[in-house]
């Protein structure tokens, strides 16, 4: 199993726009083969910090997701609305 944690620091005036884009991305991604979970979270103390937490059956499933039409279309739009400090980490399940 593969887990992805994408932490996004959103420009304050773009928060609603980013959440709207994520609504579309999450909905489409959850329908993909190999997707176990795909969720968006908001920081409890700072509403401009969002985290996307994904679980995939395999690296292959994640690779297909990264090449999906909706991913290639929506992610660049989100990238324009977040700060460069945003991070994406990919983890392999150990236990």
Q: What is the pLDDT of residues 12-53, one digit of tens each?
A: 999 999 999 999 999 999 999 999 999 999 999 999 999 999
Q: How many structural domains is the chain composed of?
A: 1
pTM for this one? Answer: 0.94
In the chain, how long is the greatest CA-to-CA distance?
41
Band (pLDDT 50/70/90 cuts) for residue 58 is very high
Q: Which residues pair with 87 in a beta bridge?
A: 7
DSSP 13: G
Question: 22 is in which domain, residue-wise?
Answer: 2-92
Closest CA to 22 of 77, 86, 89, 94: 77
pLDDT of 28 reads 99
The CATH number of residue 61's host domain is 3.30.70.100
């Amino acid at each position: 199993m593969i887990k992805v944690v994408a932490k996004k620091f959103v420009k304050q005036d773009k928060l609603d726009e980013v959440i709207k884009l994520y609504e579309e991305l999450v909905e489409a991604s959850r329908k993909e083969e190999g997707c176990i979970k795909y969720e968006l979270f908001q920081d409890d103390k700072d509403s401009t910090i969002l985290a996307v937490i994904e679980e995939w059956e395999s690296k292959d499933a994640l690779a297909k997701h990264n090449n999906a039409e909706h991913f290639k279309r929506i992610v660049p739009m989100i990238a324009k609305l977040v700060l460069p400090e945003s991070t994406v980490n990919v983890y392999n399940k150990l236990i």
